[in-house]
Amino acid sequence: MTPDTAFVAPVIEWAYLVPVLVVLGAGVIGVLVEAFVPDRARRPVQIVLGLGALLGGLAAVVVLWGDERVQGLPNEVPGVRILGGSMVVDPFALAVQGIVLLLAVLGLLVVADRTSTGQDAFAPTAAAVPGTPYEDLARRRGVQQTEVYPLVLFAVGGMMIFPATGNLLVMFVALEVLSLPLYVLSAMARRRRLLSQEASFKYFLLGAFASALFIFGVALLYGYAGSVDLARIFEALVSGTSPFGPPGAMVLTGLFLVLAGLLFKIGAVPFHAWTPDVYQGAPTPITGFMAACTKAAAFGALLRVLYVVGSGLPQEQLDHVLVGLWVVAIATMVVGTVVGVVQTDIKRLLAYSSIAHAGFLLVGVIGFNALSIRATVFYLLAYGLATIGAFAVVTLVRERAPRREPVAVAVGTAGAADAGSTAGAGSTAGVEGAPESDVVLGEATHLVEWAGLGKRSPWLAGAFSLFLLSMAGIPLTAGFIGKFTAFQAAIGGGGWMWVLVVIGVLTSAVAVFFYVRIIVLMFFTPGGRPEATGDEPDGGLAPGVTVVRSQGFTTVALVLCVVGVVALGVFPSPVLDLALEAVKFRP
């Protein structure tokens, strides 16, 4: 007999935690690198470390995928519970982790690219108050903020734990682990810093609000079931042994509060309001990373909570929960597409597109069957590839201004000093047609500035068009298969699900409008206006716009995204089969 007070060391199966440990460990090492590696060597070391960790994690995920305990021994539930469910390593968790890691690799490549201007997307010293001499000094000294890399790794670590935990408290911790670095990263844009900081602050406040809702929901569920372990909650729901009797309003309210915290990260209406502002303000590479990876991780967590708790509920109540999600899904699709139609800023437009996609994903989720999980996993991959690719393209289309024109050329506080430090870089950019003396500034995000891109950079515009077509769900792209499987899964849910699918299809049709509008703009609208005085347009682009060349990282990411989008669109079967394996998960 062991006395209650005696400490029993828990048995931890470290092997199953390798993917998470590799990434988080590399993050910690990255912090040490910041402290001890000389200034010049930091960036290469961080890039190697970051990419190495992510690829290593991915390799570990692949190895674990083949593990027989993960896939399930005969007569046993698949998956391994570690520390009483704090981590649940099952095929589903591994699939989501794999997607997060894969997308993070692509995202990190875009983050690492400094383009032909020699500058990355991040402020030299994020701590400097915008517009102060200190900031100016830091820029002149060529300081760089390589903390970005460990921050990304921490966020990825959190995203990997998020869908792989069966414990609501651990999930909450993971939520914070992934959120806090993102808040910081959002504030670090090199240009339009006030916008960036404002976005970050909004994100933080609303994120805190959502976390509060989440933890309140956890409290209610704990109150009902006496545990924060999803497996226990499930048992309590099924057995009805709770002092509160059979599951009722308390459970439903708790569940929805928890879901609210997750839906916030997903960007579903009505928890979406931060999305356009943050997507616009954050440094574009971070926007791409966060749009793709956060959504993948959050949907993983959402599926786990919803499906475990949902299967514990009586059928009638489950239906009511799903009706609640119906409302959310419809609102999300409608708001995402309808408001997306009137956007004029490319980053905000992609933000609304991302909201709409959250709605389409929810349609698949609400199907509440095995195919839903497969569809969601596939859709997340398809969506993530197109999103990272699209934002990567955005990083390359820039505004420019004549060299002598002083300061703050409508580009925000960073303008003047940038002009000083990058004059040489601007002219060595090898931008054909752009006057030598011009300075490359921030991203050209207004839609008008994208006119004529197809003529100036057909490959870039072609890739962007492909991503947009994939988002629109045009056949032969990954997006089509994703949407198709999602709607197919929804129909599989039976009942009135077809109504939801019809709304999904209709809103998809509306969404096609704003995707195709950009394609038309890029290829069929001349950008160069002859009457614009004194400013020669760059190869058919609008005056004051140019395209910078990638250092190579973004190009690699773009190529991978293009290949992925086409491959998943033309030969989806192998990945769909893999995604079907991910259906196995244990509470």
Binding footprint of another protein on the chain (CB under 8 A):
201-202, 205-206, 209-210, 213, 243-245, 248-250, 252-253, 256-257, 260, 264, 269-271, 273-274, 276-277, 317, 320-321, 323-324, 327-328, 331, 335, 337-342, 510, 513
In whole angstroms, the minimum distance from the beta carbon of 506 to another protein comes to 10
> Tokens at residue 312, please?
């514990």
Q: Which is nearer to another protein, 269 or 441 (CB)?
A: 269
- Give whole-number Cα distances, 350 to 51, 94, 443, 475, 515, in Å: 26, 28, 14, 20, 9
Please give the Cα distance from 252 to 274 (Å, whole number).
26
Map tokens 């390359």 to a residue.
396
In whole angstroms, the minimum distance from the beta carbon of 520 to another protein comes to 14
Q: Which is nearer to another protein, 8 or 342 (CB)?
A: 342
Q: Give the DSSP letter string of 419-434.
A: HHHHHHHHHHT--TTS
Amino acid at 537: P
Q: Which is nearer to another protein, 70 or 366 (CB)?
A: 366
Please give the Cα distance from 117 to 395 (Å, whole number).
12
In whole angstroms, the minimum distance from the beta carbon of 194 to another protein comes to 13
Q: Which is nearer to another protein, 63 or 338 (CB)?
A: 338
Asked whether the beta carbons of 429 and 401 are under 8 A apart, the reply is no
Q: Which is nearer to another protein, 52 or 314 (CB)?
A: 314
Taking every pair of Cα atoms in the chain, the longest distance, rounded to a whole number of angstroms, is 91
In whole angstroms, the minimum distance from the beta carbon of 334 to another protein comes to 9
- Give whole-number Cα distances, 383 to 119, 192, 294, 455, in Å: 28, 28, 12, 27
Asked whether the beta carbons of 62 and 98 are under 8 A apart, the reply is yes
Please give the Cα distance from 12 to 87 (Å, whole number).
10
In whole angstroms, the minimum distance from the beta carbon of 155 to another protein comes to 22
Map tokens 């690699």 to a residue.
556
In whole angstroms, the minimum distance from the beta carbon of 510 to another protein comes to 6
Asked whether the beta carbons of 501 and 491 are under 8 A apart, the reply is yes
In whole angstroms, the minimum distance from the beta carbon of 259 to another protein comes to 9
Pure H helices in 148-271: 148-161, 168-186, 193-225, 230-239, 249-266
Q: Which is nearer to another protein, 331 or 474 (CB)?
A: 331
Q: Is 167 helix (H, G, I), strand (E, B) or coil?
A: strand
Please give the Cα distance from 444 to 452 (Å, whole number).
13
Asked, as a colleague might, if the bond just before 572 is cis with ω within 30 of 0, I would say no
Asked whether the beta carbons of 489 and 367 are under 8 A apart, the reply is yes
Give me the torsion for CA of 152, 118, 561, 340, rounded to 10°.
80
Q: Which of 550, 565, 562 has the alpha carbon at shortest distance from 109?
A: 550
Q: How are strands ordered across the β-sheet holding 397-401?
A: 439-443, 397-401, 545-547
> Tokens at residue 291, please?
């749009």
> Tokens at residue 201, please?
């602050």
Please give the Cα distance from 414 to 190 (Å, whole number).
7
Q: Which is nearer to another protein, 273 or 408 (CB)?
A: 273
Q: Which is nearer to another protein, 159 or 268 (CB)?
A: 268
Phi, psi of 227, rounded to the nearest 5 degrees: -160, 155
Asked whether the beta carbons of 374 and 580 are under 8 A apart, the reply is yes
In whole angstroms, the minimum distance from the beta carbon of 573 to another protein comes to 18
Q: Which is nearer to another protein, 274 or 450 (CB)?
A: 274
Q: Which is nearer to another protein, 185 or 328 (CB)?
A: 328
Phi, psi of 473, rounded to the nearest 5 degrees: 80, 40
Please give the Cα distance from 258 to 484 (Å, whole number).
29
Q: Which is nearer to another protein, 115 or 337 (CB)?
A: 337
Q: Which one-letter DSSP state was computed for residue 124?
A: S
Please give the Cα distance from 498 to 203 (Å, whole number).
35
Q: Which is nearer to another protein, 109 or 210 (CB)?
A: 210
Q: Which is nearer to another protein, 141 or 320 (CB)?
A: 320
In whole angstroms, the minimum distance from the beta carbon of 272 to another protein comes to 9
Q: Which is nearer to another protein, 344 or 428 (CB)?
A: 344
